[in-house]
Chains A and B, each alone.
Chain A
């Protein structure tokens, strides 16, 4: 089986969960005998072609042209991907991830008469809650277009399945739910001793509104009577606002912004953490929760999206009312004050993460590929002309 995967992020260029998903899926597909070619982005600092961990990676550099905005930058990237795909040989199936490579996937589907599979990791309407300008409306329409053109659509949680159904009008029988996995490479390092002092609360993620980092700063203010410190790992457009907010609330001395950190530093942060908070307002899945759970860090998560499916309140973690700093502060206190609860949560969480692995994600994805190829094989929609 030959699969062409198109993604705007692939190591070393990683933005969020999409890149980690595509990387892990591609490597596992290759290890299970699938011939995987990944077509992705470079800014000129990574190679244009390489074989990495069994995956053939080809990259295009969109900075050869000028663009007025992000939408046309993405379209330029897709334009170059379509052209480069002509040099990559034959494929049985094309797999694209989100609207970011939809244009190329749809074009190649028709040019090669090859079935298209799409994974929707998140939607514009889900991220923004409303579509307030032409760019957001366009992205929303391209998401609709992608799910319309795709043979099958993969979502990472039941929450996302419902969203794709209701926001994009995608028929339910076209959607498969396949949970993300997590990277167990971090787990062996867990054997070294932790320095959990019962005072450190951490956040790991992009500093953007939908991840809700402002709620943690507000909770830090509500918990000012307690001797706590808050470590915020990650970067993003919201960082200056968050630093200003911490200053205004007079909690800058206890809220530390670490920025983007490498894996070694991230592990040391996990080892210091008494609680990890995931205060997302929008979270299709939440891979970071699995990482923390596998490392024995108790989690406090908002009752939204995929997090709501992964974690049962009081069993694998604590949940709080999404968007409420008061509810978050209360949950942090409850977990820190109750040692027995913490131990139960950590134990259950370690058992729960065993339900998630990239190998399992890959097996489920291969099943979708096989179903698509089987249906395609029995149909009449085939190329009349083969490309040369």
Chain B
């Protein structure tokens, strides 16, 4: 199977919300069964090992951003720097697995340039967080989410409720959405997109 490169803006010891601990529960187990690369925002650019994974930490190149959308655009260029190093150094095109919209753009860029299969795990969306698109900022975030979801080969959700939400609010076809809440199920998905 192809190696799997995960893109995320948080992994322990860095925590922004629940995603960090969520990944800590699944990624080490996955890493024991498939070669795993992890690209995550950190305090400096550094390559090391963590929980059986090759870790590519990238520092933020900008400190000031007018809003979260601008920050995420810039962060994804930083994530691209780490992911590109991982891919060129390993000389292999991996499966790219991005976690939520915050790292989805980097996934899209990697897919376009390297023709890498792209999976995006969706834990929440702007609509589930804000309830309605009440500002241009929310609309802008929704549009980026929709763009990333459209470009992904598969979207991964943990619960049927999110599958329904993606179908109804983003017009995603049911066949593109996979429910995978465990490492076993994720490995099945990786095998499918790897071939």
Contacts and interface: CB of A to CB of B under 8 A. Distances in A.
A137 B63 CA distance: 9
Contacts of A107: 77, 80, 109
Nearest to A66: B139
Candidate in A75, A106, A383, A387 with the most chain B CB atoms within 10 angstroms: A75
B61 interface: yes
B113 to A, nearest CB: 5
Contact of B67 (A68, A145, A388): A68
B84 A110 contact: yes
Given A384-B89, A385-B92, A134 B113 contact: no
B140 A72 contact: yes
B164 to A, nearest CB: 25
B114 A388 contact: yes
B143 interface: yes
A67 interface: yes
A384 B90 contact: yes
A384 B91 contact: yes
B92 A142 contact: no
A248 to B, nearest CB: 34
A146 to B, nearest CB: 10
B54 interface: no
Interface string A66-80: 111101100110110
B112 interface: yes
B109 A83 contact: yes
Nearest to A382: B88
Interface residues of A, number: 38
Interface in B130-164: 135-137, 139-140, 143-144, 147
Contact of B140 (A68, A106, A110, A135): A68
B74 A103 contact: yes
A42 to B, nearest CB: 18
Contacts of B65: 71, 134, 138
Nearest to B115: A388
A110 B136 contact: no
Contacts of B140: 65-68, 72
A287 interface: no
B19 interface: no
Nearest to A103: B77
Contact of B113 (A112, A133, A148): A112
B108 interface: yes
A128 to B, nearest CB: 14
B69 interface: yes
Candidate in B69, B87, B88, B90 with the most chain A CB atoms within 10 angstroms: B88
Contacts of A66: 136, 139-140, 143
Interface in A96-130: 103, 106-108, 110-113
Given A66-B136, A82-B109, A106 B66 contact: no
Contact of B69 (A68, A85, A106): A68
Candidate in A111, A140, A145, A388 with the most chain B CB atoms within 10 angstroms: A111
Given A138-B62, A138-B65, A79 B105 contact: yes
B84 A111 contact: yes
Given A65-B147, A107-B77, A72 B112 contact: no
Interface string B94-110: 00000000000100111
A43 interface: no
B93 interface: yes
B143 A385 contact: no
B70 A72 contact: yes
A171 B50 CA distance: 36
A387 B110 CA distance: 10
Interface in B108-133: 108-110, 112-115
A113 B84 contact: yes
A141 B84 contact: no
A72 B138 CA distance: 12
B113 A141 contact: no
Nearest to B64: A137
Contacts of B62: 138, 141-142, 145
Contacts of A68: 67, 69, 135-137, 139-140
A69 B144 contact: no
A108 to B, nearest CB: 8
B61 A387 contact: no
Given A65-B143, A68-B69, A385-B114, 15 more contacts: A67-B140, A68-B67, A68-B139, A68-B140, A72-B66, A82-B112, A103-B77, A107-B80, A107-B109, A108-B113, A111-B114, A134-B65, A138-B70, A145-B61, A388-B115
18 contacts: A66-B136, A68-B136, A68-B137, A68-B140, A71-B66, A72-B66, A72-B73, A72-B140, A75-B73, A86-B113, A106-B77, A110-B84, A110-B85, A111-B84, A141-B63, A384-B87, A384-B88, A384-B89
Interface of B: 61-67, 69-70, 73-74, 77, 80-81, 84-85, 87-93, 105, 108-110, 112-115, 135-137, 139-140, 143-144, 147
**Closest 4 pairs (CB-CB, A-B):** A137-B64, A384-B88, A75-B73, A110-B84
